[in-house]
Structures are given as C-alpha cells and as structure tokens.
Structure 1
Amino acid sequence: MKLSVFTVATPDLTPEELAKAAMDAGIEGIEWRFKEVSPEAADESPSFWRNNRCSIDPGGSEEEWLRFKRAAELYGRKSLAVVPYLTCGDLEATDSVMKAAALLGASFIRIGIPGYDRTSNYNELYAQTVAYLTEVEQMASSYRLKALVETHHQTIAPSASLAYRLVRHFHPDHIGVLYDPGNMVHEGYENYRMGLELLGPYLAHVHVKNGGYHRAIAGGPGKAVWGTSWSPLDEGAVPWAQVIADLQAVGYDGYFGIEDFSGTHASREMLIQFAEKMELWTNLKTV
C-alpha cells in the first residue's frame, strides 16, 4: 500500500518538517498545496485553509517552488502532486499549476470544476466543464502528467458517476478522478464498489478522511435539517475497511492520501495514526 499526505492537513509544519514527519510515519508521497497565504492571515495561528505553512505560493519564483522538491528529496519522499484551487475555464492558471508540477516532478494536479448551488443549470455547467477539460487534456499530455476531477460536495461532480460523466470523453492517461469517500459523506454517496467499477481506468487517486451527521434544526414534519462535519478517521460514516476492500477488488494500486480535517491529533501524530490505521484496515476481513 502506498501512502501520501496532502499538506492542507498539516498547516503547522514547514515543507522540511512535513517531509521528515512523512518519512518518520512511513508515508512516501507528498501532495503540495498550491495556494497563497494572504497577508492578513500570515500572523494567525496555523490553519488548514488560511495560514498554511506548507503551501506553494502560485506567485512565487521557480526557485521558491523548488524548495518543496528539495524538501521532499532531502528525506527521500516523492513530490506526488501539486494541488491548487482552480476555477473551471481558467487555462492560464491551469498552465501555471502544470508548470509547477512538472518542475517538481509531480504526477498529477487537481483541476477546477464548477460549484452547484441551484443558481445555474447543471447542463450548462456540464458543457462548460467538458469544453475546459478538452483544453486541459491537451495541456496535460504536453506536460506528461494527469489532471484530476475530485469527487466533491457542492460541485457538479459529487459522486463517482457524475465525475465519470465528465471524464469519460477523455483519455485516462491525461484525465482522471480523485476519489474522495469523505467528501461523499456530505453529498454524492453511492455504493463504493459500484462507483469504482464504473470509474475503471479513470480512478487515479484516493483521499482519506471521514465525516459524520448531526441534526442541525429540528423543525416540524418534513422540515428537519441534518448537517455534516469532519470526524476522526475511524469514527465517521465511511467504513474504510470496506472501501479499501472494494478498491482492492477493482485492482487499484495507487496512493492513499491523508486529508484529515478532524483536528483530533497534532500533525505528526496524525500521520503516524493514519499509517497505522491503513495497515489495520487493509488486513481486516470484509464482504
């Protein structure tokens, strides 16, 4: 089993500290967050999405970007991915991310897809995304890497089947899917094995986190509102032992990348716990 870490989940560590912590935990791959830290957030305590000390600045120089490659190499780790927050259709920003990924020797990037909030018609958003992916496929081929659509709540690809509907037009060498069962707790749940069977060769990477449900507003009959929140890996709604068994059943041999937002453990301990739990779940008997 190959393990990686998406540095959004380790905001208090510098690139060098993260690479060493990954080595100590037996985690091979690093997915570098590609996002600037705003000046107003720089003096805040470290946090996942604001003052994240393990982020590549898109506005930085190539020499600044190479710091992350050197950090990984110093501790024998692999720069697996560059993970940005792209807007669908922004080809200039997409090219910049691919340039950074190629510089670091990464294998894939995450691309942007539209959100869905009932204000725009899904079919129009779908057409826009397919047009964007058509351009992205050519760019990915040129850079010799893969661009991934993530299964993510509140987008037009919350499930495996809707992600597949986007990527099926393209060659799986250049366009694929980042499968995230933790996101599917919030929206997009389908039988895991069925979704994985549908994705076939487009299944390119897996993120590991968990979430659960709570009753947010009681209301009257038919008006109850349920909310979701992030959970420790072994306490949420995702049955990870089953998911791993389903991934094995379809022949998945890629990386499992930790993206734990529960805040249960400090970063270094979180990485160790992740590696230990993945080994445990891999050896459990499931249906």
Structure 2
Amino acid sequence: MKFAVFTVSLPEWTPEEAVRELAEQGWDGIEWRVVDQEPATGDVGFWQGNRCTWPASTFEQDAPRIKELTQQAGLGIPSIGTYVKSDELDAIEGLMRGAAALGVTQMRVQTGTPGPEGYRAAFAQRRKEFQAVAELSRTYGVRALIELHHQSLISSASAAARFVEGFDPETVGVIHDIGNMLREGYEYDPWSLEILGEHLAHVHVKNAVPRPERVEDANRTRWIWEWTPMRQGVADYDLLFSSLTRIGYDGWVTVEDFSTELPLAERVRDNLAYLREVTARVGIG
C-alpha cells in the first residue's frame, strides 16, 4: 500500500512547503485539494483560508506547475480532491482535463445532500446526473469517485452500492472513509469492503471519538463526534487494514486528519508512523 495526505488537512502549509515536508517525512504521495475558496480574512483553517489549495477555476492552467512541483518532490498523486457537484458538468469536464494532464486517473465528485425534494428523489436525480459524469470519465480516463460521507446522500457502503449499481467501475468508484462512517453510516469493515466490491477505488482514513455535551436547558446529555489524532479514536485500524488485505486491496490510503492537538508537522509525521505500525502488525509489507 502507498500512503498520501489530503491537503485539506495541511492548511498552514503552502504547496511548496507541503511537498517538501511530506517527501522528507517519507510519504508516498499527496492528494491535492482543489476548490475556489473565499479569500482568507483571518486565521487559516481546514475549510477556509487553506493555503494548500489549488483554485478549481484555474486548475487546468495550473496543472503543469502542479505536476512539476509534485514530481520534483518524488511524490505521487492518488486522486484529486475536488468539491464539484454531479450537476456541474462543465466544471467536471475542466477538472477532468486538468487531472488527465497531471496523469491522475481519479477525482472526487460530490453527490451532495437531499434538498426539499427528499432523499429518494435526490438519489434518483443524482444517479441520472452520474450517467453524464460517467461519459466524461470515459472520455478523459479519469474515474469519478463518490466519498462515503456523513450527512450526505451516500453515507454508507450499502447506500453507495445501490447508487453505483449498473455503472462501470472503471468510470465510477467509491472512496471508503471509516472516519466519516463513524459519525454516520458505519458498517462492519470486512462487510463494507465486500459490499463495495469492484467499485472500491480509494481509501481515506482519519479518526474520531464521541464526546458528551451537557444541554443545560433540557437537563440531558447530547453526544457529539470530535476528530482526534489517528491513534486515539474509535476506528479499529488493525481490522480495517487486515480486511483490506483479505480483499486484495493494494492501492492508495490517504490521511485527512482534522485533529488539532499536535502541531501540524508533528501530527503528520506521527500519522505515518502509526500507519506503518498498523500495517506491520497485520502483516502488510
């Protein structure tokens, strides 16, 4: 397996700093965040003012620079982390052209959340939209990936399997994300991988833990999920990696750690050390 970092979790670093740090630490790759974000007005953050983000509107033009920067550091690019939605076909096409120019064969396309029409209608509509997305994928050789994500249309492996039924796995795939699934959609790791079958295209990892939050005016406790360092959360990574091995998965695993207890460089370095410890325990070379 090869390990990468999604740059949404590297908000303090510029792209130049990110490739240098990851290469020095021994990572195999970097998964670039691509989105048009609002100009920074304060402190940098994961989703606002993130310095390690390429604008979606100029991604195709920036591709040569991105390719040179990444290759000079000796890093691979497992996927492109876009935030484009399935009905934005012009934007998807431009991003796929940029990915193809980078030699990257997959990128994320979001299914979004149900609107006033309700879940069933939204599910059916997104599937229709993905017919056109799949055609673009076939044209440019860039597979469209759906990420398992809490509070989205596709939060579980079972929902994803229903969604991608009938689609060629070479054009539409799924990102397994145990961290997101802890919050919503979790299914026993061996079964969730089996459910996805040949549509399993990529793996994201992070960790989380439930915390009690007192609701004073209601005299009750509400449980919320908080992101934690990889070592400290609920996810059983020994089980996940042994399950990945059993199904023959030997692709990329990308970390997107949203915890903030440790300074960024230390956090990223320890995540790689932890992944190596886990894979060694379960017998992955």
Matches within 5 A, 1:1-287: 1-39=1-39, 41=40, 43-60=41-58, 62-116=60-114, 119-217=116-214, 224-285=221-282
Asked if the contact 2:78/2:252 (under 8 Å) is kept, the reply is no
What's the offset of the Cα at 1:46? 2.1
Q: Which residue identity does 2:50 align to in structure 1?
A: N
- Give me the whole-angstrom Cα distance separating, in 1, the residues matched to 2:59 and 2:248: 40
Distance 1:251-1:152 versus aligned 2 partners, 3 A rule: same
Query: Kindly, what percent of the aligned residue pairs are identical?
Result: 33
What's the offset of the Cα at 1:63? 4.0
Distance 1:154-1:220 versus aligned 2 partners, 3 A rule: same
Q: Which residue identity does 1:20 align to in structure 2?
A: R
What's the offset of the Cα at 1:218? 5.1
Asked if the contact 1:21/1:271 (under 8 Å) is kept, the reply is no
Asked if the contact 1:216/1:225 (under 8 Å) is kept, the reply is yes
SS in 1 for 2:56: coil
Asked if the contact 1:82/1:100 (under 8 Å) is kept, the reply is no
What's the offset of the Cα at 1:267? 2.9
Distance 1:61-1:28 versus aligned 2 partners, 3 A rule: closer
What's the offset of the Cα at 1:220? 11
Normalised by the length of structure 1, the TM-score is 0.92
Uncovered stretches (5+) of structure 2, i.e. residues with no partner: none
Q: Superposition RMSD on alpha carbons, in Å?
A: 2.1
SS in 2 for 1:184: helix
SS in 2 for 1:66: helix
SS in 2 for 1:59: helix
What's the offset of the Cα at 1:79? 2.5
What's the offset of the Cα at 1:47? 1.3
SS in 2 for 1:283: helix
4+ residue segments displaced more than 6 Å: none
Asked if the contact 1:10/1:48 (under 8 Å) is kept, the reply is yes
Asked if the contact 1:114/1:155 (under 8 Å) is kept, the reply is yes
Q: Which residue identity does 2:146 align to in structure 1?
A: V
- Give me the whole-angstrom Cα distance separating, in 1, the residues matched to 2:82 and 2:5: 15
Asked if the contact 2:61/2:98 (under 8 Å) is kept, the reply is no
Q: Which residue identity does 1:279 align to in structure 2?
A: R
Asked if the contact 1:56/1:65 (under 8 Å) is kept, the reply is no
What's the offset of the Cα at 1:166? 0.8
SS in 1 for 2:97: helix
For residues 201-236 of structure 1, what are the alpha-carbon distances to aligned partners after superposition, in whole Å with 9 as ceiling and x for unaligned?
Answer: 111111110011122345899x75321111111111
Q: Which residue identity does 1:23 align to in structure 2?
A: A
For residues 66-90 of structure 1, what are the alpha-carbon distances to aligned partners after superposition, in whole Å with 9 as ceiling and x for unaligned?
Answer: 3221110111111222211122311
What's the offset of the Cα at 1:61? 6.4
Q: Which residue identity does 2:36 align to in structure 1?
A: E
What's the offset of the Cα at 1:285? 4.9
- Give me the whole-angstrom Cα distance separating, in 1, the residues matched to 2:44 and 2:72: 24
Asked if the contact 2:82/2:109 (under 8 Å) is kept, the reply is yes
- Give me the whole-angstrom Cα distance separating, in 2, the residues matched to 1:25 and 1:139: 36
Uncovered stretches (5+) of structure 1, i.e. residues with no partner: none
- Give me the whole-angstrom Cα distance separating, in 2, the residues matched to 1:171 and 1:200: 12
